[in-house]
Amino acid sequence: MKYLLVLQADAGVQLTTEQREAVQAGRGEFERVASEAGELVGTQALADPSRSTVIRSRHGRREVSTGPLRDEYMGGYYLVDVDELDRALELAGLLPDVRIDGLAVEIRPIMGGAIASDSA
């Protein structure tokens, strides 16, 4: 089953240099372990939430705004393909984000996907 490990952060979190280095090293180790096990499907980092654009409806009218939608934001993700939730939890536990105040990893099962078509 595929799970999305969403890297979450509080908008105001300020990491120390040591914490940033630990996050970078820990994520590298996570990627090595998950890749060697054949469980890492993909990963992407996202730009700073201040560069976000949000489009929504308010009172039936389209509204476009800039900046983050909420006080907690998604900083990136890992997509893993594992046998069960316990393995996804084990992998998420390797990420240093789960040990630093203001950071978190949200684990969400993937319920389905789009069917790619070849339009050649």
Of 5, 20, 23, residue with least CA distance to 78: 5
* pLDDT score recorded for residue 120: 43
* pLDDT score recorded for residue 12: 83
* pLDDT score recorded for residue 119: 47
Digit-by-digit pLDDT tens for the chain (120 residues) are 999 999 999 988 899 999 999 999 999 999 999 999 999 999 999 998 888 898 989 999 999 988 777 778 899 999 999 999 999 999 999 999 999 999 999 999 999 766 555 544
CATH number 1.20.1730.10 given to 2-109 = no
Alpha carbons 107 and 80: distance in angstroms, whole number: 10
* pLDDT score recorded for residue 114: 65
